[in-house]
Amino acid sequence: MYGRLGFALTVALAIASVPAVAQDQAAAAWKKGNCKMCHGDDGSGSTPAGKAMGARDLRVPAVQKQTDVEIAKIVADGRKKMPAFKNKLSEKEIAAVVSCVRSLAQPAK
C-alpha cells in the first residue's frame, strides 16, 4: 500500500482531475459509503447513529475551512468513531464525497 503522503497526493490529483465531480457520481459515493447513516443527507449528524457517536455537523466553518486533502484524509483514514473508508471507496469516490461535504456548507452568516 502507499504511504500517507502518497495517498494524500493521489487524492489531491484525483480531486484536481475532476474539478467538477458530477453530482450523480458524488451522490453515488455518498450512498456507497453510507455517510448518511451517521451524518444525515443534510450533513447535520442528527441521525440516531450520528448522535450516538458524536458526529460533528459537517456544515460548520470549522469543518469547511479544512482543505480538500485534509477532509479526504479523515474519510480515508477515519478518526475516533468515524470509520476509515480507504478500503471501501476508491480515490475517485473519496474525492467525490469530499465534493459532497463541500456542497453541504452553509452560506457565511
Nearest distance in Å: CB 108, ligand HEC: 18
- The CA distance from 78 to 82, in Å, is 5
22 contact partners, CB below 8 Å, separation of at least 6: none
Which is nearer to ligand HEC, 27 or 82 (by Cβ)?
Answer: 82
List CB contacts of 81: < 8 A, sequence separation 6 or more.
Answer: 53, 54, 55
* CB nearer to ligand HEC: pick between 14 and 71: 71
Residues in the chain: 109
Cβ nearer to ligand HEC, comparing 17 with 62: 62
Residue 82: strand, helix, or coil: strand
Residues engaged in binding ligand HEC (CB under 6 A): 33-35, 37-39, 49, 53-56, 58, 63, 66, 71, 74-75, 79-83, 85, 97, 101
**What is the closest distance, in whole angstroms, from the C-beta atom of residue 78 to ligand HEC in the complex?**
8
Distance between CA atoms of residues 94 and 99, nearest Å: 9
Q: Which residue lies nearest ligand HEC, judged by its C-beta?
A: 33
